Structures are given as structure tokens and as C-alpha cells.
Amino acid sequence: MKFELACGDVMPGCPATFSEETEDALLGEVAAHAAAAHGITTITPEVAEAVGAKVRRAG
């Protein structure tokens, strides 16, 4: 099982993509990217829900 996310699905125009073995690892990477690239340092429940809805489960 792979968990994948295209940041552009949440933040239009962003080319970053992520692929991890677990959803926790994926969300950790996304949180680090959101802080570094988008200045989002607080993951609100709304943000977490928006991101979670875009996560693709592959494999």
C-alpha cells in the first residue's frame, strides 16, 4: 500500500507530490512542506480534512 498526495490538488499551482508507505508518514511530509513552501504552520482540522480527502491509496 502506498499513500500519495499531489499538493496541487489542495494548493492549486503547487507542483509538489508525495508518496509514502504510511498515511502518517505522508501527512508528516505534507505538514513539513506546507510550512516550508506555503507558510502554513498550523494544521487546523479543516486543513487536515482537506488534505485527507485528497490522499490517494495505491497498491
Residues that bind Zn ion (CB under 5 A): 7, 11, 14, 16, 37
* 56: β partners: 4
Cβ(5)–Cβ(51) under 8 Å? Answer: yes
CB nearer to Zn ion: give 32 or 49.
32
Provide the minimum distance between the beta carbon of 29 and Zn ion in the complex, in angstroms, as a whole number. 11
Provide the minimum distance between the beta carbon of 3 and Zn ion in the complex, in angstroms, as a whole number. 16
CB nearer to Zn ion: give 17 or 22.
17
Outline where DSSP puts E strands in the chain. 2-6, 17-20, 56-58
